[in-house]
């Protein structure tokens, strides 16, 4: 795999662009919309959700146009950590039944359980060069009681045919190079990718399949005109029979019913300097990616150049760029004995959106309009799956393809105050860390 050279770090501090911008192969050059065009389906947003939908629509022979405000992967997708994590945030295959009912719960578990495989299959099928490593996703436990629960979660997933197991304490500590963990849930089909390279690769595949993709073409208005949807951009319009909103939190700016349906979660993502050989021997020596279950969560993976990529949620307690760098260093030193004085090469802040349900959501906006809103910090796998399913449902005009039942959007009550909640909870989590 060819990479652009990694910029040398100098005394000015870390770069504030995502690591992936320096390491992802260039994507296809996309035109800006400069005419009025027609399509069967319009997809708005060129992150994982929109690009995967456009690819699979085009492969099914559906005439598809995608409009992206910037470049593919410019937002959550290209800012993310690139962990491929086929797991729920809050639920388990057994508890989900009490939320959705048994049948829909099982269906969603199958979709989530298969989401990592969907990512790596797509990468293989299209030969996408994106540092793909299917070497496991882990959720380490920091207490014996959580370990006990995780043994049960492992049994729940494996009873459903998934390669999920529990890794005991000493083995977990050896695998991660972190002394504080007592064990870990292991998802064998998970792993990590360069997320920007991934979405650029999907864009290339979508073009080859016949989708028309436009970059630097922000949708300013989306209106119903007769029996069609018309999206207006600065350079032209798209008129389509059906529309898929895949602009993540910005779906709220595209359709009034999408306002106040998600909460912002600010995350600082960072990458260390490439690890030295001693550190490589003790930190994730066999690869793999993990996100632990602490309220102030800790996460880690390596990229192809040996940078350790990690993150922390933004709170009111750690403010400003310098404090973010100090916190990044503190977190690495706190977890890895082999990194007493970490150097940070890249640090950037991204905006993830969470649904109050902590579950992937599809919203039915009527008149052939669907919105994908499924971030919750697990979008690499789940939004890939949703894009595949939404495309299949549209192409066959049959919603049976969907593991998530589309529903009408409901605004979150007291949304202004609720939007502060993630930062408040993370401030409390920081204090208890
Ligand atoms: C810091 C961070 C770390 C994360 N880490 C992980 C991780 O390790 N693993 C994981 O699974 N998930 C992770 N996530 C979540 C994951 O990145 C997202 O769930 C996923 O990328 C969302 O994809 P998307 O296509 O829905 O949204 P986005 O990637 O946000 O794409 C939406 C696109 O819509 C475009 N857009 C917006 N408005 C308009 C408009 N008016 N017209 C046209 N286009 C528009 C935007 O430019 C953008 O490209 C992370 C998120 C963040 C922020």
> Which residues have CB under 8 Å from 334's CB, separation 6+?
none
Quote the Cα angle for 412-386-203, to 5°.
115
What is the per-residue DSSP string for 229-258?
Answer: EEEEETTEEEEEEEEEE--GGGHHHH-GGG
Quote the DSSP letter at residue 351: E
433 residues of the chain, pLDDT tens digit each: 334 445 545 457 899 999 999 999 999 999 999 999 999 999 999 999 999 999 999 999 999 999 999 999 999 999 999 999 999 998 999 999 999 999 999 999 999 999 999 999 999 999 999 999 999 999 999 999 999 999 999 999 999 999 999 999 999 999 999 999 999 999 999 999 999 999 999 999 999 999 999 999 999 999 999 999 999 999 999 999 999 999 999 999 999 999 999 999 899 999 999 999 999 999 999 999 999 988 889 999 999 999 999 999 988 888 889 999 999 999 999 999 999 999 999 999 999 998 988 899 999 999 999 999 877 889 999 999 999 999 999 999 999 999 999 999 999 888 887 788 888 888 887 777 7
Backbone angles phi, psi at 294, to 5 degrees: -65, 145
d(CA 8, CA 277): 19
Ligand 1 mean position, distance from CA 6 (Å): 24
Q: Judging by beta carbons within 10 Å of its beta carbon (0-12, 13-18, 19+), is residue 363 exposed, middle or buried?
A: buried
Ligand 1 atom closest to 81 (CA): 8
**Taking phi first (over 0 means left), then psi (-120 to 50 degrees means alpha), and beta for anything else, what does residue 397 get?**
left
* E strands present in 294-386: 299-302, 308-313, 344-354, 361-366, 369-373
d(CA 48, CA 198): 8
Which residue's alpha carbon is at the smallest distance from atom 31 of ligand 1? 47
d(CA 357, CA 338): 38
Ligand 1 mean position, distance from CA 144 (Å): 35
**What are the pocket residues of ligand 1 if the criterion is a CB atom closer than 6 Å to any ligand atom?**
44-50, 67-70, 74-77, 79-83, 85, 218-219, 246-248, 250, 253-254, 267, 269, 311, 350-352, 375, 377-381, 383
Output the CA–CA distances (angstroms, integers) from residue 67 to 46, 72, 163, 248, in the order listed: 7, 10, 37, 14
* 19-418, CATH topology level: FAD/NAD(P)-binding domain (3.50.50)
CB 118 within 8 A of CB 414: no
Residue-wise over 88-105: b if at least 16 C-beta within 10 A, else e?
beebbbeebbeebeeeeb
Q: Which of 172, 201, 206, 204 is nearest to 186 (CA)?
A: 172
């Amino acid at each position: 795999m060819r990479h652009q050279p990694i910029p040398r770090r100098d005394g000015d501090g870390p770069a504030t662009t995502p690591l992936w911008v320096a390491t992802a192969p260039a994507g296809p050059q996309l035109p800006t919309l400069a005419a009025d065009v027609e399509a069967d389906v319009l997809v708005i947003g060129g992150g994982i959700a929109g690009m995967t939908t456009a690819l699979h629509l085009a492969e099914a022979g559906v005439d598809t146009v995608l409009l992206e405000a910037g470049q593919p992967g410019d937002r959550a997708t290209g800012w993310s950590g690139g962990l491929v994590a086929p797991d729920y945030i809050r639920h388990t295959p057994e508890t989900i039944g009490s939320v959705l009912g048994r049948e829909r719960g099982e269906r969603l578990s199958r979709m989530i359980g298969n989401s990592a495989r969907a990512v790596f299959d797509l990468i293989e099928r299209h030969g996408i060069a994106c540092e793909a490593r299917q070497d496991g996703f882990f959720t380490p436990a920091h207490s014996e009681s959580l370990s006990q629960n995780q043994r049960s979660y492992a049994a729940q997933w494996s009873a459903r045919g998934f390669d999920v197991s529990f890794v005991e304490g000493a083995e977990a500590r050896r695998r991660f190079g972190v002394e504080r963990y007592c064990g870990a849930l292991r998802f064998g089909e998970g792993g990590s990718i360069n997320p920007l390279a991934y979405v650029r690769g999907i864009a290339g595949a979508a073009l080859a399949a016949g989708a028309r993709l436009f970059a630097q073409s922000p949708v300013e208005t989306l209106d119903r005109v007769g029996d069609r949807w018309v999206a207006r951009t600065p350079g032209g319009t798209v008129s389509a029979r059906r529309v898929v909103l895949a602009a993540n939190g910005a779906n709220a700016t595209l359709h009034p019913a999408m306002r106040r349906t998600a909460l912002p979660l600010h995350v600082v993502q960072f990458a260390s300097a490439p690890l030295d050989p001693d550190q490589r021997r003790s930190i994730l020596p066999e690869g793999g990616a993990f996100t632990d279950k602490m309220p102030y969560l800790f996460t880690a993976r390596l990229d192809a150049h040996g940078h350790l990529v990690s993150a922390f949620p933004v709170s009111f307690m750690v403010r400003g760029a310098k404090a973010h760098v100090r916190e990044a260093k503190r977190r690495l030193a706190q977890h890895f004995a082999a990194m007493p004085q970490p150097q940070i090469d890249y640090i950037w802040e991204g905006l993830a959106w969470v649904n109050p349900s902590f579950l992937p959501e599809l919203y039915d906006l009527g008149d052939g309009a669907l919105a994908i809103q499924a971030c919750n910090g697990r979008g690499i796998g789940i939004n890939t799956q949703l894009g595949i399913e939404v495309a299949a449902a549209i192409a066959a005009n049959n919603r049976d393809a969907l593991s998530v039942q589309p529903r009408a959007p409901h605004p979150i009550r007291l949304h202004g105050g609720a939007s502060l909640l993630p930062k408040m909870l993370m401030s409390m989590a920081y204090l208890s860390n």
